[in-house]
């Protein structure tokens, strides 16, 4: 496969994959609408990600919601890496139609064209997300594997942030999320990712096109949008630390996420493109390591070499999940993915990059105020 189309290829993950594919002598075409929310109003100046691929790939400015743009982009391609999407979890709860149109609608349109027009596409990679798992997989001492639903406001108000067994209400133990875990997204964004994955895997089978679904965890690294909702905490804390401000940690600080470095994510994605073993499979892409929020604050502070007070406030946001980390044994054993970057090393690269950027204005207090107004912050 020589000619690769990356939709959303001007974005964080896509631009990194594009540069790696170029190193491997592939011809890369990018279809991207340079969404102002991600790239600013003047991408040639305001988007380092777009600049990193400019004049290196065949760039088509267009949208995945346009049939004409798809037909133009698919011409002569051997494979599609479909990343273009609206990605704001919070935003998806009040811009529902937009999220459904771009994410589900764009994917449906791609498949429609492949089903009804001549083409030479042999493989499609679809970007799914850990968001489809909602709260993830847990174990109850009495009831075995269970999938907790949303935590109760009344319990959290008393400082109890743990997840409970839906049968007996006992506290439960977190397990790594395997690919066969229950799919129960808690946001419109998560629902669209689940649908995109299902559409691609189901339709490609009938079209004789190989498909691979990637459930990315929290992807971070140099070049990330400082408003990326998955890793917003890295930029929010960075801004606080660099302005010498106190960090307010939600809940008890022991809530965790699986942070996976951008380089590893790009490698994992390309492994699936090159490897037939991956065909018609879905994979978690993470590190398999749960990192708690206190560790995030301390690691950032260490690499910026700035000490700020860290306050564990017991504040919380309704709808937040408590934990999620991936079981990555499937991708390891089937296509040999092994993350090379641990959190310390990745954060060291991330802070180096942030140090070269202008310090953004600290909008933290403002965002708390907004959440309070919406009744989401306690
Ligand atoms: N970054 C993460 O932590 C993470 C985690 C899980 C899943 N994902 C998924 O990975 C994919 C890439 O994410 P990312 O972090 O690189 O996001 P990103 O926002 O940096 O990149 C997305 C790109 O898609 C483009 N785009 C948006 N709407 C478009 C449209 N209608 N037509 C064409 N292009 C459009 C944007 O301009 C942007 O360049 C997304 O599908 C996202 O859901 C990301
Ligand atoms: Zn139980």
Q: How confident is the model at residue 99 (pLDDT cuts 50, 70, 90)?
A: very high
Same domain, 329 and 359: yes
pLDDT digits (tens, 9 = 90+) for 252-262: 999 999 999 99
Ligand 2: distance of its center to the CA of 148 in Å?
10
In whole angstroms, what is the distance from residue 271 CA to residue 255 CA? 31
What average pLDDT does the chain have?
94
Same domain, 158 and 223: no
Give the CA count within 13 Å in the CB-facing half-sphere of 191. 12
Residues in the ligand 1 pocket, defined by CB under 6 Å: 7-8, 10-14, 31-35, 38-39, 63-65, 83-87, 102, 106, 127, 129, 216, 218-219, 225, 228, 230-231
Write down the pLDDT at residue 327. Answer: 98
Write down the pLDDT at residue 228. Answer: 63
Nearest to 195 by CA among 94, 106, 271: 106
Same domain, 166 and 202: no
In whole angstroms, what is the distance from residue 73 CA to residue 50 CA? 18
Angstrom CA distances, 316 to 184, 257, 375, stand at 22, 16, 11
**Structure-block tokens of residue 136:** 């993830």
Nearest to 255 by CA among 316, 298, 183: 316
Average pLDDT, integer, range 48-66: 97
Write down the pLDDT at residue 378. Answer: 79
Average pLDDT, integer, range 327-346: 98
Write down the pLDDT at residue 51. Answer: 95
Q: What phi and psi values does residue 144 have, to the nearest 5 degrees?
A: 70, -145
Is-contact 20 73, C-beta < 8 A? no
Write down the pLDDT at residue 125. Answer: 98
Same domain, 327 and 265: yes
pLDDT digits (tens, 9 = 90+) for 157-213: 999 999 999 999 999 999 999 999 999 999 999 999 999 999 999 999 999 999 999
Tell me the longest C-alpha to C-alpha distance in the chain: 61
Same domain, 98 and 150: no
Residue 227 placed within a domain: yes
Residue 194 placed within a domain: yes
Residues marked active site are found at 189
Average pLDDT, integer, range 103-128: 98
In whole angstroms, what is the distance from residue 212 CA to residue 101 CA? 22
Residue 378 placed within a domain: no
Residue nearest to atom 31 of ligand 1 (CA): 63
- State pTM to two decimals: 0.95
Structure letter (DSSP) for residue 130? G
Helix (H, G, I), strand (E, B) or coil at 5: strand
Q: How confident is the model at residue 135 (pLDDT cuts 50, 70, 90)?
A: very high
* Residue 146 structural domain: 138-174
């Amino acid at each position: 496969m020589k000619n690769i189309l990356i939709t959303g290829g001007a974005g964080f993950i896509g631009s990194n994959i594009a540069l790696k594919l170029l190193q491997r002598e592939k011809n890369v075409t990018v279809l991207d609408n340079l969404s102002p929310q991600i790239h600013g109003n003047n991408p040639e100046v305001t988007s380092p990600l777009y600049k990193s691929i400019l004049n290196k790939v065949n760039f088509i400015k267009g949208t995945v919601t346009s049939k004409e743009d798809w037909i133009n982009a698919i011409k002569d391609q051997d494979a599609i890496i479909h990343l273009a999407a609206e990605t704001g979890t919070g935003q998806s709860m009040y811009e529902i139609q937009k999220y459904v149109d771009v994410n589900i609608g764009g994917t449906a349109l791609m498949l429609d064209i492949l089903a009804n027009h001549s083409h030479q596409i042999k493989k499609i990679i679809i970007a799914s997300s850990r968001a489809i798992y909602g709260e993830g997989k847990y174990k109850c001492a009495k009831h075995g594997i269970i999938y907790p639903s949303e935590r109760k406001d009344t319990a959290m108000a008393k400082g109890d942030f743990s997840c409970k067994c839906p049968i007996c209400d006992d506290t439960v133990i977190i397990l790594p999320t395997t690919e066969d875990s229950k799919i129960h997204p808690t946001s419109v964004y998560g629902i669209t990712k689940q649908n995109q994955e299902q559409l691609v895997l189901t339709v490609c089978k009938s079209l004789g096109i190989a498909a691979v679904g990637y459930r990315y965890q929290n992807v971070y690294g140099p070049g990330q949008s400082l408003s990326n909702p998955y890793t917003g905490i890295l930029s929010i804390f960075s801004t606080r630390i660099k302005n010498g401000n106190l960090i307010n940690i939600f809940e008890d600080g022991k809530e965790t996420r699986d942070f996976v470095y951008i380089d590893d994510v790009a490698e994992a994605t390309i492994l699936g493109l090159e490897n037939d073993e991956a065909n018609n499979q879905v994979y978690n892409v993470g590190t398999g390591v749960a990192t708690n929020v206190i560790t995030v604050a301390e690691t950032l502070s260490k690499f910026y070499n700035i000490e700020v007070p860290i306050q564990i406030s017991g504040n919380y946001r309704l709808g937040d999940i408590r934990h999620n980390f991936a079981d990555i044994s499937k991708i390891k054993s089937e296509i040999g993915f092994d993350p090379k970057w641990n959190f310390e090393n990745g954060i060291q690269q991330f802070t180096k990059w942030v140090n070269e950027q202008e310090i953004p204005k600290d909008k933290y207090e403002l965002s708390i105020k907004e959440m309070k107004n919406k009744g989401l912050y306690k």
